[in-house]
Structure 1
Amino acid sequence: MEHESLFSLSNPEFWVLVALVIFFGLLVVLKVLPGALFGALDGYAAKIKAELDEAQQLREEAQALLADVKAQREETERQAAGMLEAAKADAQRLAVEAKEKLEEQIKRRAEMAERKIAQAEAQAAADVKAAAVDLAAQAAEAVLAARLAGAASDPLADAAISQLGAKLQ
């Protein structure tokens, strides 16, 4: 069998090639092929542009959200610093007040102790005075009793004894 060339009129592959070229030629002349191809490319480009626009919008929203979060963080840090300063000031104020109250309490207790000591001293002095009066009265009584035993009655001694109780008190 002889080999037939591709471009021979009796070769069926030649006619398939001719039909294919005519078909593509008609598609180009009728603007079906370029229109469909360019339409598909335009649709794909529009889809990509829409995705890019959406990505840009999401990026802008994310940047706005990030800026908002940063602002909130800065505000929170500012508030925390303010609260810390206020707490330090309150602690310092409370420490000063506690120190003042402690000093005042110590002063009051010292004054109270001094008053108790003064009262105890006054009581001790009064007790000593009373004991001295009692002792003096007993001594005077003993002396007078000894004198009276020797003498019947001395009006001067009787008057002195009656005045002695009033003077010692």
Structure 2
Amino acid sequence: MANPTSQLPEVIATEAAQATVEIDAGAGKHVEPELWGLAPFQIVSISMLVLLLIAFFGAKVHKTIGGGLDGKIAAIKEQLDEAKQLRAEAEALRQEYADKIAGAEKDAEAMLANAQHEADALLEKAEADSKAMVERRKRMAEDKIAAAEREAVEDVRNRAVNAATTASRKLIAEKHDAEADQALADKVIAGI
């Protein structure tokens, strides 16, 4: 049998291959990252120190920011309280106007009922007045008729009296003479 290494291809060494082998040989060494010549743990320590200094001395900034936020919160609370008060006033006004509308409706109903009552009373009074006026005019007409009847009766009586007087004068003048006058005068004197 043949040698197993004899079946492998032959590698030709070149300069490029030699440079690759050298780079690969240096890859076994670990290089840590650096910033300004400081190791990562030193950078983290300095960062934490700066952060703590800012937190300690920057507390005034924190208080200022907190005070500003507290002021904003107080202003917002004040605006909310004012809005609640305005809403309560608006509700009160709405209720007041609703009550006024209800009162106005009741007043309108009462006015309508009162007007209907007054109209009925005026109608009854007008009917009573018209009946009374008709009765008065009827009485006046009856009185005028009665007066006219009396005048007519009186006129008829006067005419009858005049006719009777005229007729008696004629009869007395025709049938009565001086002797009859003397006898009548004696009779009247004797009756006294």
Which TM-score applies when normalising by structure 1? 0.68
SS in 2 for 1:114: helix
2:90 to 61, 66, 74: 66
In structure 1, what is the Cα distance between the partners aligned to 2:141 and 2:133? 12
Q: Which residue of 2 aligns with 1:109?
A: 133
Over the residues paired in the alignment, what is the CA RMSD in angstroms?
2.7
In structure 2, what is the Cα distance between the partners aligned to 1:30 and 1:138? 151
| Cα shift at 1:145 | 2.7
**Match of 1:31, as an amino acid?**
F
1:129 to 144, 153, 172: 153
2:108 to 77, 84, 87: 84
How high is the sequence identity, in percent, across the aligned residues?
Answer: 19
Kindly name which structure, 1 or 2, has the bigger radius of gyration based on alpha carbons: 2
1:99 to 113, 123, 128: 123
| Cα shift at 1:99 | 1.6
**Match of 1:134, as an amino acid?**
N
Q: Which residue of 2 aligns with 1:119?
A: 143
SS in 2 for 1:31: helix
| Cα shift at 1:26 | 9.3
Tell me: higher relative CO, structure 1 or 2? Use CA pairs within 8 A at least 6 residues apart.
Answer: 1
Q: Which residue of 2 aligns with 1:16?
A: none
Alpha carbons of structure 1 residues 48 and 30: separation in structure 2 relative to 1, 3 Å: closer
Ranges in structure 2 where 5+ consecutive residues have no aligned partner: 1-35, 37-45, 181-192
Q: Which residue of 1 aligns with 2:9?
A: none
After TM superposition, the runs of 4+ consecutive aligned structure 1 residues lying more than 4 A away are none
Which TM-score applies when normalising by structure 2? 0.60
Q: Output aligned runs, 1:1-169, within 5 Å.
A: 25=50, 28=53, 31-33=56-58, 35-152=59-176
Alpha carbons of structure 1 residues 93 and 133: separation in structure 2 relative to 1, 3 Å: same
CA displacement 1:108-132 (0-9 Å, x = unmatched): 1111111111111111111111111
